[in-house]
Structure formats: structure tokens, C-alpha cells
Copies of this chain bind each other. A is one copy, B any other.
Amino acid sequence: MWIVLTYDINEKRVNSIRKICALYLIRVQNSVFLGEIGWANLRILRDKLKDKIIESEDSIQFFILRDEKLVRRIKLGVSYEFSNII
């Protein structure tokens, strides 16, 4: 599977959330990660994030695709793929 993960996280928690995401995905914008991931790791990632966030304050969205080929990407402006740089 290939996923895009986006988040809005309270300043107090954003670094710890970023560190967890960087273990599994590549950061492409401040609050956007993406990459190939299996179901088992996706469940682990989701549960780790669920433990860290405060549900009434923070927001995380997973956009899950069977295959990267199903999505076409267009980028405007600066494009950086942080390979695990937090």
C-alpha cells in the first residue's frame, strides 16, 4: 500500500508525532508524510500515534491507496523529500 498522512498537531506534541511518522514514511511538507507501508506497520503506526495525540485537539488523516500508481502528483514551488530528517 501507499499512503499520504497529514496532520494538525498541537505544538507541544508535534515533534514526537513527527519522529514516529519518520520511522515509517517520508516527510514531503511540514505536516505531510507519504510512502509505501504494509498493513501490519500501518496498524502499528496508527496505534503509536493514537497513544500520543489528544483526540479533542489533534487531527491526523491517512489517505490509503492500494498502489502508488493510482495517484498522480503535481508539485508547485519548493519540493523537499525529507528522508527521515525531522
Interface residues of A, Cβ cutoff 8 Å to B: 4, 6-8, 28-32, 46, 49-50, 53-66, 70-80
List of B residues within 8 angstroms of A4 by Cβ? 4, 6, 63
The answer to whether A58 and B29 touch (CB under 8 A), given A63-B63, A65-B65, is: no
- List, in ascending order, chain B residues with CB within 8 A of A74's CB: 46, 61-62, 64
List chain B residues, Cβ under 8 A from A8. Answer: 29-31, 78
Interface contact B73-A62, CB-CB below 8 Å:
yes
Pairwise interchain contact A60-B31, C-beta atoms closer than 8 A: no
Q: Which of B54, B60, B78 contacts A75 (CB 8 A)?
A: B60
Provide the bound-state CA to CA distance between A62 and B72, in Å. Answer: 8
Q: How far is the CB of A81 from chain B (nearest CB, A)?
A: 11
